[in-house]
């Protein structure tokens, strides 16, 4: 499933900020064009995003799932789901 | 990790770097110092990415060529190197070896094309271990490790013959997935022994080969909360190290290159009160400050020992303390636990001048650049003052628990040198004889802008039953800025509150660093024609900012409002209040008489009196004041 529009809460804002840093673009541009394939979304970028997101949210994110996301919105959903799961577990 | 000293947040820092690079310049000294103390690898790799387009030759920094080879994927290492090297004044041109060709690159010297100043070889366990050590007899694994070390030494010796570049290696941590695959306790011990020997032998190379430097990554990782390896990243991309581990390696590389390029610092300027000892010398006296003995005095003594150790290795020490010179001298000479003695310092600047000026003058008299200074002080006010006036000075915070002071001073490696020489050991003495010890005098000049930016607010208020306790405490404790030495206690102060011919006022000071609360008090005798200052005290925490002049203006205005024509005041000299001796002259008063015991009396006619308060001190608006009165 591909998420193309998303609600900009605090989680989304942080994800977009981190992601735009990794993709060397701006948060506004990323919201405008959320398709990750439009940027250099290669394995190096995926790992940089993984490390930065895990650092910012303090949770471990599923690397395989991260690898399969297509848009910034998908990524936000993945982080939200991870956070929910983490809260449930603890 | 700059704590409250972090002037810039992450966004500001990265923006400052980007805009400098866009302008074709290196980031300015303040930004570079903020980078030097930054510990967040995520931020630093973004900074490093932003620095990729900086032209080293045009940057204004020392250009350095660095080749980076690795036994796995380098990941963020080049960007982290850019960020850390730029922080210490080096502008690197980084050439990265091809993935999977570590041995080939070293063997044929491909790294040499760019004629690097240094070659960083990032080593990881895979280089030394068999492909599948799991299930192998441990002796065979140990033999394999030894063979691989020999092969590495051969490669390095060959490389060293073909280049004059420094070869930088690292010690290597051994992962749990390998350790724990050996289930026999004895086997694990043998493997660990072989591994420690490997790292010890790597370190030994640096001792015998002048061209080699070895960063003890394994040792540092054991001290940090950072994980060495993320199995996912290794599995996915052959990344042997996490960004946190790579940052340690980048920082150690920075220390080697910084020392080699002569960009290390040479001078340590130390505050005294609450830095070299606990407490305030002018208030507590040499017997009262905390130094030596049990904690916390022990922690301050250890800092002194550390500073002394630095001096033995050639670091020049400067004392930068707002104190009376004679008190400091007495403390350093006479305190049984003082490790630093007056002659340990090449320059003693114990006076009441702004510290930035003292540091500049110390640099002049030592013949050293201000960019070779590290300055350590517990006061955020003093630190920010120096940072804003002299942005090239590396400023180290000395507040918080004194037990942390040593690591905070040493962890950056500010003073690293490649090797100590005979001159290094003598340097402090050489500089001591070169610098004439002076007691600097002078007034605020270049500091005015800073003081203005500080946003100092003075709030005067008539004493109330709620504030008399604090006012009496100030009277009892204040020794330095205590103009007559009369110590009105709570009862005497309380009686004046109810008396029509007395006025007692408290003075609170706040600035952008926070609210100091009530720091001053005045006791006045109020007659119809003439008011007399019985005493005025001010905590030494706020001295040197002109607060006392805003106070005298306020007092004189109250007297004029009440219809008095003049105010009379006196100064009674004590052993500790010489810092305040000229207060009444500075307040615009005229000397009337001087008695034999040194007591001097002053007066001022209130009509047409020009105000003396400095422009950078604000008072709350009159409406607020009346409410508070």
pLDDT at B598: 81
pLDDT at B230 over 90: yes
Mean pLDDT for the stretch of residues A5-24: 89
Least confident residue range of B60-69, B271-280, B448-457, B502-511:
B448-457
Residue B402 and residue B271 in contact, taking contact as beta carbons nearer than 8 Å: no
pLDDT at B453: 75
pLDDT confidence bin for A3, thresholds 50/70/90: low
Mutation for A interface: B9, B15, B42, most A CBs within 10 A: B42
What is the SS3 assignment for B184? coil
Least confident residue range of B352-366, B441-455, B606-620:
B441-455
**CA–CA gap between residue B122 and residue B77 (Å, rounded):** 9
- Check CB contact under 8 Å for A47 and B45: no
Mean pLDDT for the stretch of residues B555-567: 95
pLDDT confidence bin for B442, thresholds 50/70/90: very low
Which residues 6+ apart lie within 8 Å of B208 measured at CB?
none
**CA–CA gap between residue B98 and residue B106 (Å, rounded):** 11
H or E stretch including B593? strand B590-594
Nearest to B42 among A24, A55, A63 (CB): A55
Domains and CATH numbers, chain A: 10-89 (1.10.1200.10)
pLDDT confidence bin for B2, thresholds 50/70/90: very low
B268 closest CA partner among B447, B403, B423, B406: B406
Mean pLDDT for the stretch of residues B603-618: 92
pLDDT confidence bin for B220, thresholds 50/70/90: very high
Quick one: three-class SS letters along B361-402? HHHHHHCCCHHHEEEEECCHHHHHHHHHHCCCCEEEECCCCH
Residue B240 and residue B73 in contact, taking contact as beta carbons nearer than 8 Å: yes
Domains and CATH numbers, chain B: 61-260 (3.40.50.1110), 267-448 (3.40.50.1000), 455-628 (3.40.630.30)
Nearest to A47 among B14, B49, B239 (CB): B239
Higher pLDDT, B30 or B199: B199
Residue B271 and residue B377 in contact, taking contact as beta carbons nearer than 8 Å: yes
- Check CB contact under 8 Å for A47 and B237: yes
Nearest to B236 among A21, A47, A48 (CB): A47
**CA–CA gap between residue B521 and residue B1 (Å, rounded):** 38
Give the residues across from B215 on adjacent strands: B170
Residues B35-63 as b/e (b if ≥16 CB within 10 A, e otherwise) read: bbbbebbbbbbbbbbbbeebebeebebbb
Which residues 6+ apart lie within 8 Å of B199 measured at CB?
B171, B172, B216, B218, B219
* CA nearest to A52 within chain B: B42
pLDDT at B446 over 50: no
- Check CB contact under 8 Å for A51 and B236: no
Higher pLDDT, B272 or B436: B272
Q: Does A48 touch chain B (CB under 8 A)?
A: yes
pLDDT at B622: 55
Residue B595 and residue B558 in contact, taking contact as beta carbons nearer than 8 Å: no
Mutation for A interface: B10, B50, B232, B241, most A CBs within 10 A: B232
pLDDT at B4: 41
Mean pLDDT for the stretch of residues B137-149: 96
Quick one: three-class SS letters along B126-154? HHHCCCCCCCCCHHHHHHHHHHHHHHHHH
pLDDT at B628 over 60: no
Residues B582-602 as b/e (b if ≥16 CB within 10 A, e otherwise) read: ebbeebbbeeeeeeeeeebbb
Q: Which of residues 21-40 of A touch B (CB under 8 A)?
A: 21, 24
pLDDT confidence bin for B7, thresholds 50/70/90: low
Least confident residue range of B60-64, B139-143, B514-518:
B514-518
Contacts of A24 in chain B (CB under 8 A): 49
Cis status, amide bond into B296, omega within 30 of 0: yes
Q: Does A65 touch chain B (CB under 8 A)?
A: no
Mean pLDDT for the stretch of residues B261-270: 92
Q: How many CA atoms lie within 13 A of B161 on its CB side?
A: 7
**CA–CA gap between residue B615 and residue A88 (Å, rounded):** 58
Tokens of B214: 């070895």
State how far the alpha carbon of B335 is from the alpha carbons of A37, B331, B351, in Å: 70, 5, 20
Give the residues across from B65 on adjacent strands: B93
Mean pLDDT for the stretch of residues B5-28: 86
Contacts of A48 in chain B (CB under 8 A): 45, 76
Mean pLDDT for the stretch of residues A23-27: 91
pLDDT at B629 over 70: no
pLDDT at B242: 96
Mean pLDDT for the stretch of residues B574-597: 90
Q: Does A55 touch chain B (CB under 8 A)?
A: yes
> Cα-Cα-Cα-Cα dihedral of B105, B106, B109, B114, to 10°?
70
Percentage helix, strand, coil, to 5, in chain B? 45, 20, 35
Residue % of chain B over a pLDDT of 70: 93
Q: What is the DSSP letter of B251?
A: H
Residue B594 and residue B571 in contact, taking contact as beta carbons nearer than 8 Å: no
Rounded mean pLDDT of chain B? 89
- Chains A–B, number of C-beta pairs less than 8 Å apart: 28
Give the residues across from B321 on adjacent strands: B350
Helix count (H) and strand count (E) of chain B?
A: 25, 19
Quick one: three-class SS letters along B510-560? EECCEEEEEEEEEEEEECCCEEEEEEEEECHHHCCCCHHHHHHHHHHHHHH
Higher pLDDT, B368 or B86: B86
Mutation for A interface: B46, B50, B80, most A CBs within 10 A: B46
What is the SS3 assignment for A44? helix
Q: Report the DSSP pairing between strands B502-511 and B514-526.
A: antiparallel
Phi-psi region of B500 (alpha: psi -120 to 50; beta: other; left: phi over 0): alpha
What is the SS3 assignment for B410? helix
Look up tokens 């120096």; give the residue. Answer: B386
- CA of B402 to nearest chain A CA: how many angstroms apart? 30
Mutation for B interface: A23, A43, A48, A53, most B CBs within 10 A: A48
- CA of B403 to nearest chain A CA: how many angstroms apart? 29
Mean pLDDT for the stretch of residues B213-226: 93
Q: What is the DSSP letter of B278?
A: B
pLDDT at B426: 62
pLDDT confidence bin for B183, thresholds 50/70/90: very high
pLDDT confidence bin for B141, thresholds 50/70/90: very high
pLDDT at B447: 63
pLDDT confidence bin for B336, thresholds 50/70/90: confident
pLDDT at A2: 56
Sign of the dihedral through C-alpha B204, B205, B209, B211: negative
Mean pLDDT for the stretch of residues B162-166: 90
pLDDT at B578: 86
pLDDT at B363: 92
**CA–CA gap between residue B532 and residue B504 (Å, rounded):** 12
Whether this model's ipTM surpasses 0.95 comes out as no
**CA–CA gap between residue B166 and residue B121 (Å, rounded):** 11
> Long-range contacts for B181-185 (Cβ within 8 Å, ≥24 apart)?
B181/B133, B181/B134, B181/B135, B182/B138, B184/B138
Residue B476 and residue B427 in contact, taking contact as beta carbons nearer than 8 Å: no
Contacts of B40 in chain A (CB under 8 A): 55
- Check CB contact under 8 Å for A51 and B49: no
Look up tokens 């305190």; give the residue. Answer: B335
Q: How many CA atoms lie within 13 A of B464 on its CB side?
A: 6
pLDDT at B217: 97
Give residue B539's Cα distance to chain centre: 24
Mean pLDDT for the stretch of residues B85-112: 90
> Cα-Cα-Cα-Cα dihedral of B173, B176, B182, B184, to 10°?
100
pLDDT at B625: 47
Contacting A with CB below 8 Å, chain B residues are 14, 40-42, 45-46, 49, 75-76, 230, 232-233, 236-237, 239, 242-243
pLDDT at A89: 67
pLDDT at B417: 86
Mean pLDDT for the stretch of residues B209-232: 92
pLDDT confidence bin for B58, thresholds 50/70/90: confident
Residue B505 and residue B460 in contact, taking contact as beta carbons nearer than 8 Å: yes
pLDDT at B502 over 60: yes
pLDDT at A55 over 60: yes
Residue % of chain B over a pLDDT of 90: 68
* CA nearest to B49 within chain A: A24
Rounded to 5°, the CA angle B540-B458-B520 comes to 40
Contacts of A56 in chain B (CB under 8 A): 42
Residue % of chain A over a pLDDT of 70: 92
Residue B110 and residue B85 in contact, taking contact as beta carbons nearer than 8 Å: no
Task: Note the pLDDT tens digit of each residue in A59-77.
Answer: 999 999 998 999 999 999 9
pLDDT at B427: 65
- CA of B372 to nearest chain A CA: how many angstroms apart? 34
Contacts of B230 in chain A (CB under 8 A): 51
**CA–CA gap between residue B310 and residue B415 (Å, rounded):** 8
pLDDT at B477: 79
**B22 exposed, middle or buried (CB, 10 Å; 0-12, 13-18, 19+)?**
exposed
Residue B324 and residue B275 in contact, taking contact as beta carbons nearer than 8 Å: no
pLDDT at B1 over 70: no
- Check CB contact under 8 Å for B42 and A44: no
């Amino acid at each position: 499933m591909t998420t193309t529009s998303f609600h900009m809460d605090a989680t989304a804002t942080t994800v977009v900020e981190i992601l735009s840093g990794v993709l060397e673009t701006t948060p506004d541009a990323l919201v405008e064009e959320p398709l990750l394939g439009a940027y250099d979304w290669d394995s190096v970028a995926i790992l940089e995003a993984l490390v930065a997101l895990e650092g910012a949210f303090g949770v471990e994110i599923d690397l395989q799932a991260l690898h399969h996301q297509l848009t910034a919105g998908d990524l936000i959903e993945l982080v939200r789901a991870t956070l929910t799961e983490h809260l449930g577990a603890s | 990790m700059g704590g409250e000293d972090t002037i810039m947040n992450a966004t500001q820092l990265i923006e400052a770097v980007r805009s400098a690079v866009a302008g074709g310049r290196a980031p300015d000294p303040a930004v570079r110092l903020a980078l030097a103390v930054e510990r967040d690898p995520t931020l630093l790799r973004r900074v490093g990415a932003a620095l990729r387009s900086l032209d080293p030759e045009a940057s204004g920094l020392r250009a350095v060529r660095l080749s980076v080879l690795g036994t796995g994927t380098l990941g963020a290492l080049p960007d982290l190197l850019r960020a850390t090297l730029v922080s210490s004044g080096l502008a690197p041109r980084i050439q990265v070896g091809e993935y999977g060709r570590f041995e080939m690159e070293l063997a044929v010297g491909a790294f040499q094309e760019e004629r690097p100043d240094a070659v960083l070889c990032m080593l990881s366990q895979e280089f030394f271990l068999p492909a599948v050590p799991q299930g192998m007899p441990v002796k065979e694994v140990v033999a394999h490790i030894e063979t691989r070390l020999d092969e590495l030494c051969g490669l390095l010796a060959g490389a060293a013959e073909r280049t004059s570049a420094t070869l930088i290696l690292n010690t290597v941590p051994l992962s749990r997935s390998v350790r724990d695959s050996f289930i026999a306790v004895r086997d694990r011990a043998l493997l660990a022994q072989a591994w420690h020997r490997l790292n010890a032998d790597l370190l030994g190379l640096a001792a015998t080969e002048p061209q080699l430097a070895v960063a003890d990554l394994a040792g540092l990782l054991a001290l940090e909360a950072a994980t060495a390896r993320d199995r996912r990243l290794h599995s996915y991309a052959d990344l042997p190290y996490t960004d946190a581990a790579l940052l340690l390696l980048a920082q150690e590389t920075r220390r080697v290159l910084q020392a080699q390029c002569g960009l290390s610092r040479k001078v340590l300027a130390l505050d005294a009160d609450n830095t070299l000892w606990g407490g305030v010398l002018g208030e507590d006296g040499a017997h009262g400050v905390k130094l030596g003995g049990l904690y916390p005095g022990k922690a301050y003594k250890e800092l002194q020992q550390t500073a002394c150790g630095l001096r033995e290795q050639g670091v020049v020490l400067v004392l930068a303390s707002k104190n009376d010179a004679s008190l400091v001298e007495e403390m350093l000479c006479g305190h049984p636990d003082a490790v630093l003695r007056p002659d340990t310092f090449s320059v003693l600047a114990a006076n009441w001048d702004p510290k930035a000026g003292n540091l500049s003058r110390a640099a002049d008299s030592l013949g050293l650049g201000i960019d070779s200074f590290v300055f350590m002080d517990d006061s955020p006010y003093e630190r920010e003052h120096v940072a804003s006036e002299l942005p090239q000075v590396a400023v180290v915070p000395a507040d918080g628990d004194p037990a942390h002071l040593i690591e905070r001073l040493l962890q950056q490696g500010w003073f690293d040198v490649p090797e100590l020489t005979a001159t290094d050991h003598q340097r402090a003495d050489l500089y001591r004889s070169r610098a004439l010890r002076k007691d600097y005098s002078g007034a605020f000049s270049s500091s005015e802008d800073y003081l203005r930016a500080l946003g100092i607010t003075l709030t005067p208020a008539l004493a109330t039953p709620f504030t008399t306790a604090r006012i009496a405490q100030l009277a009892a404790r204040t020794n330095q800025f205590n103009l007559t030495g009369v110590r009105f206690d709570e009862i005497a102060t309380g009686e004046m509150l109810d008396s029509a011919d007395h006025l007692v006022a408290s003075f609170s000071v706040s600035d952008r660093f926070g609210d100091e609360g009530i720091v001053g008090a005045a006791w006045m005798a109020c007659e119809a024609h003439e008011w007399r200052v019985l005493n005025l005290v001010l905590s030494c925490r706020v001295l040197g900012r002109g607060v006392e002049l805003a106070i005298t203006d306020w007092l004189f205005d109250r007297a004029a409002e009440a219809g008095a024509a003049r105010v009379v005041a006196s100064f009674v000299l004590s052993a500790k209040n010489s810092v305040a001796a000229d207060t009444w002259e500075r307040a615009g008063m005229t000397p009337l008489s001087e008695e034999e015991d040194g007591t001097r009396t002053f007066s001022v006619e209130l009509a047409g009196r020009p105000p003396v308060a400095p422009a950078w001190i604000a008072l709350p608006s009159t409406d607020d004041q009346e409410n508070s009165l």
